[in-house]
Structure 1
Amino acid sequence: MNTIKFIAIFSLLVSAEAIFGHENSPHTPRSTPVVKEQKPWGIAGDAKAAARTIMLRMTDDMRFTPRHIEVREGETVRLRAENKGEVMHEIVIGTRAELDAHAALMKKHPGMEHDEPYMAHVAPGKRGDIVWQFNRPGQFDFACLIPGHYEAGMTGTITVLPRKP
C-alpha cells in the first residue's frame, strides 16, 4: 500500500473515532457538590424540593417524548430522561442560542467531557435525572447535543408559565 493511501485510511479512522467518541464515552456520576449558578432558564434545584417528576423518553429515531413540557415559574422539577435506544443520548437544557453554541463546540471537540447540573448523559437502557428550579418565565429548549443528534432534530421546548397571582 502506498504512503498516500495509508495516510488517507488512517485519517478516516481517526476522524471516525473523533466523531463517534463522545457517543460511547462513559460519563461518570458527579462526585462534587452541584454548583448553583443562575442561568437564564433557572438554577440547579434541590431534589427534596422537586414537586413532581416529568418523564422524558429518548430514542434512536432522534426524538424526545414528550417534545414539549410546561412548568410554573418557581417550580422545582425532576426531569427523568430514559434512554430507550441503543446509543448514548443526553439532555441539555438551555436557550436556543446556548444550545446552538454548545452543539458547535461538541462538533469541534466530540470527545469533550462536560458535567453541568442542567444536563444528563444517559447510556442505552439507563435513565438520568436533572433537578431544576425554573425561576424565570419564558420559552426555553432542551436537546441532545451529541454530534448528529441535534442536527437530526433531537430537541424539545420548555414553557415556564408566570407564577399564579
Structure 2
Amino acid sequence: MNIPTLVLTAGLLAMPVLAAPGHSGSHGHYDGHAAALGEPGDPKAKARTINVVMTDEMRFSPETVTVKRGETIRFVVKNAGELRHEMTLGTMEELVEHAAVMEKHPDMEHDDPNAVTVEPGQTKTILWKFTKAGSFDFGCLVPGHMPAGMKGRIVVR
C-alpha cells in the first residue's frame, strides 16, 4: 500500500502565522457548541438575567424561555437538589448526541460556553447571545436526567 507522506522542513515549522489585526480564524462567527442558536455572550455587553432552578424532580424552572434575537442572556443556574445537574444549550439533536457520550462517561464535566455542571446547592452562570431566531432546547445531560424530563425550550423571536 502506497501512502502519501507530507513533509515539512524545519524552516516552515518555525514560521509564524500572521493574521490581520482583529482578524480571527472564525471569520467573525462562532462555530463551536450550540452555534445553531448563537454564540457566547460578551461579558461587557448589556445582558438580561434569567434565573433557572434545577431540581431532583428532574425539572427546570422555568421550562420555557422567550428571548429576542440578538439579545444576550445571563442564565443564573441554581441546583436546588441533592444530585449533580447541568444545563446545556443546543438543538435537541445536539443534546441527544451529547447525552449518549455522557452515558459512556458519566463523570464528564463541561468546559463549554453553552453548558454548566452544577453541584448540589451551587449556582453557576451561562452568558449567551442568541443570534438566530427559532425554537431551541436545553437539557440536563447527566445520564438518565433528560429522558426523565429534565429539558426545556428556548424560543427566540
TM-score range, shorter chain: 0.7 to 0.9
**Percentage of matched positions with identical amino acids:** 50
Counterpart of 2:21 in structure 1 is none
Counterpart of 1:109 in structure 2 is 105
Matches within 5 A, 1:72-111: 72-111=68-107
In 1, the alpha carbon distance for the partners of 2:78 and 2:142 equals: 16
Counterpart of 2:60 in structure 1 is 64
If each structure's helix is expressed as a fraction of its own residues, which one has the higher value?
Answer: 1
Q: 1:50 to 1:103 in 2, by over 3 A?
A: farther
Kept after mapping to 2: 8 A contact 1:50/1:131: no
In 2, the alpha carbon distance for the partners of 1:130 and 1:154 equals: 17
In 1, the alpha carbon distance for the partners of 2:114 and 2:125 equals: 9
After the TM superposition, which parts of structure 1 deviate over 6 Å for at least 4 consecutive aligned residues? none
- In the alignment, structure 1 segments of 5+ residues that lack a partner are 1-34
In 2, the alpha carbon distance for the partners of 1:51 and 1:132 equals: 9
* 1:127-161 Cα shifts (integer Å, max 9, x gaps): 11000000000100000000011111100000000
CA radius of gyration, larger in: 2
Matches within 5 A, 1:4-43: 37-38=30-31, 39-43=35-39
Kept after mapping to 1: 8 A contact 2:59/2:151: yes
Counterpart of 1:157 in structure 2 is 153
Counterpart of 2:42 in structure 1 is 46
The one-letter amino acid paired with 2:94 is E
Aligned residues: 127
- In the alignment, structure 2 segments of 5+ residues that lack a partner are 1-25
Q: What is the CA-CA distance between 1:49 and the residue it aligns to?
A: 1.3
Kept after mapping to 1: 8 A contact 2:106/2:143: yes
Does 2:51 correspond to 1:55?
yes
Counterpart of 2:6 in structure 1 is none
Query: TM-score, with normalisation over the residues of structure 1?
Result: 0.74
**RMSD after superposition:** 1.5
SS in 2 for 1:136: coil
The one-letter amino acid paired with 1:144 is C
Q: What is the CA-CA distance between 1:65 and the residue it aligns to?
A: 0.4
Kept after mapping to 1: 8 A contact 2:110/2:117: no
Query: TM-score, with normalisation over the residues of structure 2?
Result: 0.77
Q: What is the CA-CA distance between 1:50 and the residue it aligns to?
A: 3.7
SS in 1 for 2:44: helix
Counterpart of 1:118 in structure 2 is 114
